[in-house]
Amino acid sequence: GNSVTQMEGPVTLSEEAFLTINCTYTATGYPSLFWYVQYPGEGLQLLLKATKADDKGSNKGFEATYRKETTSFHLEKGSVQVSDSAVYFCALDKAAGNKLTFGGGTRVLVKP
């Protein structure tokens, strides 16, 4: 079946540091890949997506590239802010169905 594995947290960084969160997936065919963010007490917000191999999703300074050869979709941001403190989820959706498979989530804490 489909699965998503992402690095466990928490990840603690200083403001303006570089952030990388690793995400790998297992799925047949060509799933769409997503990063969602969850701030304390809130639901999930779509951060970025990529629907085919070599696509790069980007939003709010975050980027991730769909790597079919390594089945990966690592999230990066060059300079984090305290407001980026949240839990980040990598997810995939295999074809039609709005049925997301999520990774376990990575908590990121950015200190001033």
Partner 1 sequence: KAGVTQTPRYLIKTRGQQVTLSCSPISGHRSVSWYQQTPGQGLQFLFEYFSETQRNKGNFPGRFSGRQFSNSRSEMNVSTLELGDSALYLCASSSSTDSYEQYFGPGTRLTVT
- The residues near 23 (Cβ < 8 Å, ≥ 6 apart) are 4, 5, 6, 7, 33, 35, 64, 72, 73, 74, 75, 90, 103
> Minimum Å distance from CB 100 to partner 1?
6
51 contributes a contact to partner 1 by CB under 8 A:
yes
Instruction: Say how far apart CA 103 and CA 88 lie, in whole Å.
Output: 9
Restricted to residues 78-107, the positions that interact with partner 1 (CB under 8 A) are 89, 91, 93, 95-105
Q: Please report how close the Cβ of residue 33 comes to partner 1 at its closest, in angstroms.
A: 10
Question: Where does this chain bind partner 1 (CB under 8 A)?
Answer: 32, 34, 36, 41-46, 49, 51, 89, 91, 93, 95-105
